[in-house]
Amino acid sequence: MSAEPGLKLTSKDKVLLHLKDYWGHREDREYPAALTQKGISEMTGLRLSHVPRTLQGLVSEEFVDEKKAHVKGEKRRYKVYILTDKGVTETGRIIEDLRGQTVVVNGSYVSVGNVLDKEEATHRFRLLLRLAGEEITSLKRKPVLAGPIPGISDFVDREDELELLEQMLGDPMSKVMLVYGPQGYGTTALAAKFAHVASHQWSIGWLSVEKSLKKLRISIAKTLAALDVQGLTPEHMTDPKKLATALEGSSIVLVIDGYHEVSEEVVEYFTGLVAALRDTAGFKILVTLREDTPPYNRFYSIIDIHDGVAGEVHVRGLDLEHCRQMLGEPNIEPDAMKRLFLFTRGCPTDVKLLARGDENEMRVKSRFSPEEIKLMLFLKGQTKE
């Protein structure tokens, strides 16, 4: 069936008609992803940034109920939207109004009502979209991973920090995720773990920060190309606002690893990107930063934190038990373990080096003196009788 545009559907019509098709799921224990804001955007063709405003109006009119619930395939709860009885009545009225309209199908004028009666459609809304000339051919692209994302085989602890990042990912207001930590304390490992967890729903692009703005733009362009983002031009790379607008609704998280000391131009670029992300949705950035990043290299403000646009996660040292786990010595003498914990201060990099037990490697890569290294290796060998 080919239909010429003629039928007019407002954003309110689209959301109500879409939700009506999922009315049978209202008693489910786990709801379809199509009932979340992101799902509604994908199924209706509305921009993700416009969906919350439409839903807010429908909730205030008591056509839709909003609640947090479990979503199929997701670990955490999301906001879902269900038609109320009043909403069902309103949807019925909309359909009746549409039935009386005329459209051109295969070159002939027909009433919408006749098409609805003759067509057997699993989702009536999909049929109405076709009659409006708005068929959505691709609803959800499979998430893609791009860039040198580190492995996560030895990832331990950090569950609280990981949960904070997942909360930011699910919050439409949150656009910039910031992971702080001293050098060697696992900010990159946490970001890599998050990337793998988030990749079931979001595409992840990974790149290392560049001090030069020119090199940074090139790196971003290559990463987005690897994610199969189409239509980007050099102008998009130059103007953060145009880049953010072009990526709206893309379900992409761009991870920038190793931010510390950069040029003033790079700081200004990221500052502009944060400002642009305030007005867009469906695209986020995650930046790992050294805890001692100079104040003049910060690219966001306390207002961004207050408004929920940016959120910080601070990585500290591992606790004693997770140090023991990473060390791989379950039978180590407790006092020896406590002394090693004081030496390493829970720094994952130091504990990993100690676990490998290579004295020469520790001398090259660690901050300890040769005498301290010998003592630490000795302590590592002290086991319970």
Task: For residue 138, give the nearest of 25, 251, 14, 52 by alpha carbon.
Answer: 251
- Predicted pLDDT at 62: 95
CA distances from 111 to 128, 136, 149, 239 (A): 12, 22, 54, 47
- Is residue 332 classed as helix, strand or coil in its secondary structure? strand
Do residues 270 and 206 make contact, with C-beta atoms less than 8 angstroms apart? no
**Distance of CA 295 to CAs 209, 311, 339, Å?**
17, 17, 35
What six digits make up the tokens of 87? 């909403």
Q: What is the pLDDT of residue 107?
A: 62
On whether the CB atoms of residues 99 and 116 are closer than 8 A, the answer is yes
User: Which H or E element spans position 349?
Assistant: helix 348-356
Distance CA 251, CA 176 (A): 14
Question: What are the structural domains, with CATH classification, of the chain?
Answer: 3-131 (1.10.10.10), 145-314 (3.40.50.300), 320-380 (no CATH)
The Cα 361–Cα 349 span in angstroms is: 12
DSSP state of 8: -
| Single pTM value for the model | 0.63
Which 3 state secondary structure label does DSSP give 215? Answer: helix
Token pair, residue 102, equals 């005329």
Report the SS3 class of residue 261. Answer: coil
CA angle 337/340/344 to nearest 5° reads: 140
Closest Cα partner for 256 from 244, 266, 265, 268? Answer: 266
Tens-of-pLDDT digits for all 385 residues of the chain? 444 445 778 899 989 988 988 888 888 888 888 899 988 888 888 888 889 999 999 999 999 999 998 887 777 788 999 999 999 999 989 888 888 777 766 566 677 777 777 654 445 676 676 666 665 443 345 678 899 998 877 677 788 898 899 888 888 789 999 999 998 888 999 999 999 888 878 899 999 999 999 999 999 999 999 998 888 889 999 999 999 988 887 889 999 999 988 999 999 999 999 999 988 878 999 999 999 999 999 999 999 999 889 999 999 888 888 888 888 888 899 999 999 999 998 888 899 899 989 999 999 988 899 999 999 999 998 887 6
Distance, CA of 90 to CA of 77 (rounded, Å): 28
Taking phi first (over 0 means left), then psi (-120 to 50 degrees means alpha), and beta for anything else, what does residue 107 get? left
Alpha helix segments (H runs only) across 157-233: 159-170, 187-198, 213-226
Place of tokens 């416009």: 50
* Cα(174)–Cα(278) distance, integer angstroms: 9
Write down the pLDDT at residue 128: 72
Q: Which residues pair with 104 in a beta bridge?
A: 4, 109
The neighbouring-strand residues paired with 66 are 81
User: Helix (H, G, I), strand (E, B), or coil: what is residue 173?
Assistant: coil
| Owner of token pair 């039928």 | 7
Structure tokens at 325: 């786990």
**pLDDT value for 89:** 93
> Are the C-beta atoms of residues 126 and 1 closer than 8 Å to each other?
no
